[in-house]
Structure 1
Amino acid sequence: MMPINNLSTLSMVALNTSDPQQMRGIGTQLETLTGNSSTLSSEDIGYSSGIINKLTTVSIESHTGIINTMDKVKIFKSIVSTVNNIVKVEPGKIDPQFGKNISLNLETLATSFTGDGEEREDYGSILQIMEDGLSVVVGCPERPDQALAFAALNQGRELYLGPLDNFPDKESTLRVVIPSSALDIVPSGSALPPNQSQCQERQTSFIFYKSPILFQDDGLDKDTAVATAVVSANLGGPANEPLAGEPVTLTFQLSIDSTGAWLKPTCVYWSYGKGGWATDGCYLDTDVTDLMTNVVQCKCTHLTNFAVLVSRSAFKSSQPADKALSIITYIGCTLSAIALIGSMATIASFKAMRARRHNRIVFLLSMDMLLAIVFFVFGIRTATSSPNICTVIALLLHFLFLLMFSLTSLEAIMLYKQIVDIFGMFQGFTIKILLLLTAGVPFCIVFLAAAITKLSAHGNSKYCWITENGVFYGSFIAPMCVSLLTNIAVLVRVTVALHGHGSAVSSSIKTTNTSSVSYLLRVVVSLSVLLGISWLFGALVAVYDHLALQYIFAITNTLQGLGIFVHVSRDAEVRAAWRKSITSVLSQDTNSAAVHRSSSKSSRIALTLQRQSPHTSSFGTFRRSTASEQTTKSDTREDAGPPGDLPTPITLSEQNQSSVFILKAPSEGPNQQADSV
């Protein structure tokens, strides 16, 4: 066949011929003309779509004379290579109708390709074509008693088709598992139609599209897009035909980072009749789906082209949202850590504070939260390089957070007994039992979760935290919700008791304006922080992962430690103790300064008097003397001792001074004190 330089001419030639040899040449030239994807226009893609349609038609029609496998494989490879070139163009160049025609022809060709009934033992590939953007595998499973697995490994650079039991231990971009019940199409001993082999009846075909560019749905919301590769899976029967028995399982690796996304993924399939994505018969497997690792698992009751949709706004906003949330988290955790240290120091510094049972619980809660913050900030991501250390940190965080919930519930129970049920206070033995349960229940939950999952649910390559949704909801969210419901119930009951007349405590406090809204508001806010009510937003985020809830949860939760410090410092005994300590320190500083000033001044005065007047009283009283008194006083001073000695006590009084300084003599010690009156 003569070389053709443009796709429009090649299209005209293809439409007017059905010769097998010419069709092989047309396929080769089509592959060549589409080799430079950057130069392809929308018209070129339209011509290519028409040529592919003609090649597919010729390949599957028996009357054309293309009967040998070599011709079929050659045309098939040319089509796959051409489609691989087309999927690399810019999205705007492919008309949705052209994309639909190209994918439908490729799927039809893969489904109808049988290799002339060539048999394989066990699972075998009749045909495998791999390109950098597109791969096709046609297989023939001979043993329907085992589930069939197809996977794209190492970012699509490797393909696997075989028994699920022999699945390689490699990272997969996607995986399709067809149950054995769907493969058992022909019962043992049944007669097959003429010229049809057992392999042909159970033939499977898979097409792996790295890009979803051929599947453009005009009906999608502008904020929604395909976030995974697209996989076509067929058993040779009609598309969307219901499967017998169990559904097919599809596991996708999201092509975007979904850790900042707040919308749930949606499992979809491509409906050629609708010309877009649909959800009938497909659903999300929430037990396996883990957005923290970008893994989404779907189950569908039929076979066709599958993918996962997510919100475009979610992953466009993921990086700035992640950055903002990280900044809020680190700032809040730093402030809370400092505040928690202050709370523990306050309680430990005063004996009266340590003696109160409530404060001891707050001390334990502060210590637990401080440890959780330290492990969270320094370990939840930084320790992922060491799997063993990461698992230990995940287990510790799991336990510390559950212990925090347990301690807040214990505080709630004690608060209820103190304010509402004041005649039923716990005794010492009961308190010990409660403390044992407070620590024991979280430990048992973490131990059971680790034992059941064999530590596989704690820690992965991205986070040192719970990595399986079932474990996360069962061993973390559920206990958290129980604690929150308990604490909220106590908070409501205590608020009512303080506001009403039914409690003796509330009635005694009402004399200090307890009926005011501001007082009750302060009480509710303070107790809400202490009882960890801010974790209610965490429960809402787990159910409805909206960005606004994430911001509220990050702000309120990371500042919980600061709120506890405010709660502790508002205690009247704490304020009195701190005031006394601060006053004592300031008093010591003031006295020391006064002593220094007085000592210097008294030394200067004494030196001046010694130089100007040789007369002084034996009792050390200096005053202005008359001339007649100076002789007597001079005699007295001569008997008193050397002129440099200052007797005890020394009192200085001058008419032009408004203050009197009383000094202790040097003989009493070097530390002189002065009081200003």
Structure 2
Amino acid sequence: MHVVNFKLTSIPKYSCSFHVQAPASVNVTETRQIIFDLLTKGFANSSITIKVLPDEISILHIEPGSCPEDTTLTVYGQYMWPSIPAQDKYEMKCEKGNDAAIRLCKIDDSTDEAIWDPPDLSMCEKITTDINDLESVTVTPNNSADIVEMIENLLLNRTDLSTSELNTVLQKLSDVAHVGIMTTQLANNVISVVSNLFVSTSFLAEATNEILSITDQVGNRMEFSGDYHNTTVPSLALQLINVDPLIFQGLTFGVSSFQTGFPPEIFLNQAFADQSDSGTVASISLPVALETFFPQSSRNRVQFQFYGIENLFQDHYSNLVLNSYVVSASVTNASVIDLRDPVIITLLHLQPKEDHDTVQCVYWNLERSHGRGGWDDSGCQVKFSNATHTSCLCFHLTHFGVLLDIAKTPINHKDDMILTVITYLGCGLSSIFLGITLLTYMAFEKLRRDYPSKILINLSGALLGLNMLFLMNSWLASFNNYGLCIAMAAILHYFFLATFTWMGLEAINMYLAFVKVFNVYVPSYILKFCALGWGLPLLIVSVVLAVDKNCYGSTHSVTPAEDFSSFCWLQNDIAFYVTVVAFVVLILICNISVFGVVLVQIRGMQLSKEASRCSRMLHELRVVASLTFLLGLTWMLAFFTWGPVRVPFLYLFSIFNTLQGFFIFLFYCLMKENVRKQWRIHLCCGRFKLNSYSDWSGSVTLGGRPKSVKLAHTPSETTSERKISKSSQKEEN
């Protein structure tokens, strides 16, 4: 190709350029002469005159290069195209048939570079390959349609796909759904292939999650004109609606008629329907309140799906029997949480319900059965049920165990409700008594003279913050404010880490007091503890926010029979297991070690006392119980919430940990002699009021240090050889 630059003498302020394509055999000199002869002829009419001066003609040669080697896989076979110069054609024999496949190496008009035209395979015959051959194929935007067509041909009349063949097909369909140019034609073909899989294999139940993911992705990425698009194929329907939030009045999608193996007859109403027609096979109604969740910066698309195949949803770990078809709904790019009005799902019974039959509303939980999926009724309840239909409502409440839910496996609705009640009662009770504990130690200066009391104040403050934020979490999440939810989750994370950090510092302080009794002077001891106790959690949370603030957020979905969760917490599994689980494990290992050492020391001290065996046992039990709650050892219960014992341990976890603040008050306020004295001195009147401070010197908190000794932490019982003072005995007893 050659480019000619010239000027128009009649309009000197303009310059023009044009392209002249010449055969590759024509050299630059010949081309220049051809162009020169044409231009110097000039041009004139009544309005314009063009005259080109010979010395202003410049001709540049642009080399477009060659088309690179390329490989294409189609239903006509695999073809490997060699590198050829621009404007050349390459022919090769069809893999099947006597004709040739042709491909042109053309010049791109916009870049002047050589690019391949799509191959012309119209003269070739289609071939049959093996499904396993697809494993070596890389899916690209250009070959997506060909690969789907090839899979469609390979599935014709197949009813015996093996597990490996099924996985291969699903992997390629998933790749197409993610990278293909999702036109309506390509999307319809993918959905059609998914429908064909329903009758092509007996291993369908092993691929439920993958199939659901593919259909979701196709619906989210499909480009279509207008406001509606639907695809109906045997046993499967996909309905897409681009909605306008300003005129949104709810949506109702359903299937009015369906026979297994045939495309369902669907309907769509732009209004919320509290009750569907009795003849409906399946329906799902989205309320008007859904409009508040539509994203503002992108399209507002609602996607409905219907699956008329029971074999797709088989939970081998549950005794539930599916007695309806499955319908679902989702909102693209939206976080739907805590809807003011619930979604209503109405389903036709495949077998009429008898009087003695029990009906449950369930949803397909992708995380159950080690990621294979399974039925779950968490957060769902039956609205009504008769012999032919059941209507479901879905709600969700949050229990304390979600803070350290390592298994992340939902529980049934009844247990969830009970655990939620325990959580809110326990957290509320603990918050009240933690507040009393803080006020007591802050108001009475003599109570906070020693290090253990100062650490207890900080621990109580962190634990109070954790309980209060947990109680407010769902309420603040109900505002559906993305930024507010991130802030709430980050602050809750901070107080969670601060609570464990102070429990760890409490253990370190005990170790220094009971093991490293002498020569442990640390300047600015409490100041350093405060810097670590409040600073380390702030550093961890700041790093998480800096790496990806979207690690925080709320669990959300609007699928049928699925819960509408409204709890702001860590949503990224890596961040959760690193900054929560790993952090808790390290603190608990430290605390358990100190717990054992301290018990041995106290046991030795008690043996040196002249007391009855029963008295010693009661004292040791009290010490064990108080240290267990002070060091947070009850949080270990979270690591046993697996399998068949998951629910019982969740009950224990919720009871003991929500009441941790109450037990701290019980052991370190109510059962402390010196604390009770301060209450009687300052709060009581009449015969209950105490006016003497005579016994104060011997009633310091267990592990407190005298002012005159500069130790990190020196208990009033310093060595096992010395008898515990009478005043200390009075406090402990």
TM-score range, shorter chain: 0.3 to 0.5
Report the structure, 1 or 2, having the larger strand content.
Answer: 2
TM-score by length of 2: 0.42
TM-score by length of 1: 0.45
Report the structure, 1 or 2, having the larger helix content.
Answer: 1
Select the structure of larger CA radius of gyration: 1
